[in-house]
Amino acid sequence: PTFPPSATMEVLISKEQIAERVAAIGKQISADYAGHSIVLIGVLKGAAIFLSDLARAIEVDNTFDFVAVSSYGRARVSSGAVKLIKDIDNPIEGKHVIIVEDILDTGLTLSYLRGLMLQHKPASLKIATCLDKPERRLVPIEADYVAFSIPNQFVIGYGMDYAERYRGVEDIRLFPDEAVGH
């Protein structure tokens, strides 16, 4: 693999465009939760970078926590497709919670996590995602805050990986099909 990403990895969304949308979502969340405290729950590892930017764009009192999941065979529709590897550290009962994701793809991860978090009886539960690929959805779930909706193209950067690489790339870039396996 090449690092830094080569010119063949075309920029789909620039870091400036990302910053603009993160700021806008931060403002929207600040308005929606004015006077409240919120808990941001990031889904490791992809959401780490979006969460760190979003937390700094939110002007209401907030804390954050992380969960980790492992998914088996993303193409398979199964209620047991996702497994919790790391739970939240602090209770969320009665709290206003926003699950933060880098990308909403088939929806299996978020529909599993939403069900799991609802069992903790939060005061409210919403979802914020940097990217949404609506064409790929296998289960019906939508995010409340979406920075960008994109077609079904493989992307890296801003937390998103190819084989764990490129998460630190500042722009969101198209990962060329011919590079898969190299």
> From ligand PRP, Mn ion, Mg ion, none, which one binds at residue 117 (CB under 5 to 8 Å depending on kind)?
none
Find the catalytic residue in 53, 65, 87, 105: 105
Give 5 or 46: the residue with its C-beta nearer to Mn ion.
46
Residue selected from 46, 122, 157, 159 as contacting Mn ion according to rule CB under 5 A = 46
Is 105 noted as a catalytic residue in this protein? Answer: yes
Gap between the Cα atoms of 69 and 13, Å rounded: 26
- What is the number of the residue whose Cβ is closest to ligand PRP? 46
Burial (CB count <10 Å: 0-12, 13-18, 19+), residue 136 = middle
- CA-based angle 83:29:103, to the nearest 5? 35
Distance of CA 50 to the CA centre of its chain: 7
Residue selected from 65, 144, 161, 170 as contacting ligand PRP according to rule CB under 6 A = 161
> From Mn ion, Mg ion, ligand PRP, none, which one binds at residue 38 (CB under 5 to 8 Å depending on kind)?
none
| Contacts with Mn ion, residue ranges (CB under 5 A) | 46
Q: Which residues bind ligand PRP (CB under 6 A)?
A: 43-46, 71, 74, 101-109, 161
